[in-house]
Amino acid sequence: MTLRERNRLRTAADVEAAALELFERHGYDHTTVEQIAVRAGISSATFFRYFRAKEDVLFSGEDASAGALVALVAQRRDRRRTVAALAEPVCRFAHGSVAGPATSGQRLTHLVMTTPALESRSLRLRLRWEREVAAQLAREAGTGRPDLGQTLAAAIAVSCLTSALRAGHHSGGSIAHLTRRAFAHCADLTR
């Protein structure tokens, strides 16, 4: 990697860290590109050489989060292809990659899923999670395109997570705990 490339990566990371801090402190809507640029020590013009829009700063962690979810599903202990078997990996994902406070990728995912102005992007993220979990279930079954049952199992499991995120957004409860409760509800609702 050349010095120039390294500098580029470092600046992008600085901008993301600055944006994240401001979004968490003042809210996504009340933060301007100008403020992000000032905090990252660059000009607004430079900001737009790295990101097309304020929104795009939030989506560098998308691939990692989808990858983490699929890896957890692939490694789950309960090898059945039921909704119950997906509770453990999805709750671990909720705990680690969505609600966890640790990495900036995790904080970004949480922001995207709980900011109304980013609804379209968060819906696409949900669809992506559904598709990738369904694809993993299809791979395990040795089939090609996910069938109706696999598509539905993935949609229900991801709905447990997104319902928990929505409930947690209003109540402020723990997302991992709410996700576990959602999976328990599933059994009751479909009895």
Listed residue (176, 110, 186, 120) closest to 153, CA to CA:
186
Amino acid making up residue 10: R
Among 155, 169, 174, 175, binds a copy of itself (CB under 8 A): 155
Give the other-Cβ count within 10 Å of 135's Cβ: 18
Residue partners of 189: CB distance under 8 A and separation at least 6? none
Q: Does 186 bind a copy of itself (CB under 8 A)?
A: yes
Nearest distance, CB of residue 50 and a copy of itself, angstroms: 24
Which letter, b or e, does each residue of 111-125 get, where b requires 16 or more Cβ atoms within 10 Å of its Cβ? bbbbbeebeebbeeb
Nearer to a copy of itself by C-beta: 60 or 159?
A: 159
- C-alpha 16/C-alpha 20 separation (Å) is 6
| Stretch binding a copy of itself (CB under 8 A), from 14-22, 37-45, 52-60, 153-161 | 153-161
Among 39, 96, 152, 174, binds a copy of itself (CB under 8 A): 152
Nearest distance, CB of residue 152 and a copy of itself, angstroms: 5
Region 161-180 residues binding a copy of itself, contact defined as CB under 8 A:
162-164, 166-167, 170, 178
Q: Does 182 bind a copy of itself (CB under 8 A)?
A: yes
- C-alpha 14/C-alpha 32 separation (Å) is 16
Q: Does 153 bind a copy of itself (CB under 8 A)?
A: yes
Q: Does 124 bind a copy of itself (CB under 8 A)?
A: yes
72-76-80 Cα angle (round to 5): 130
Listed residue (70, 75, 99) closest to 157, CA to CA:
70
Nearer to a copy of itself by C-beta: 109 or 179?
A: 179
- C-alpha 81/C-alpha 79 separation (Å) is 6
Region 103-122 residues binding a copy of itself, contact defined as CB under 8 A:
119-120
Size of the site for a copy of itself (CB under 8 A): 36
Binding site for a copy of itself (CB under 8 A): 82-84, 119-120, 123-124, 126-127, 145, 147-149, 151-153, 155-156, 159-160, 162-164, 166-167, 170, 178, 181-182, 185-191
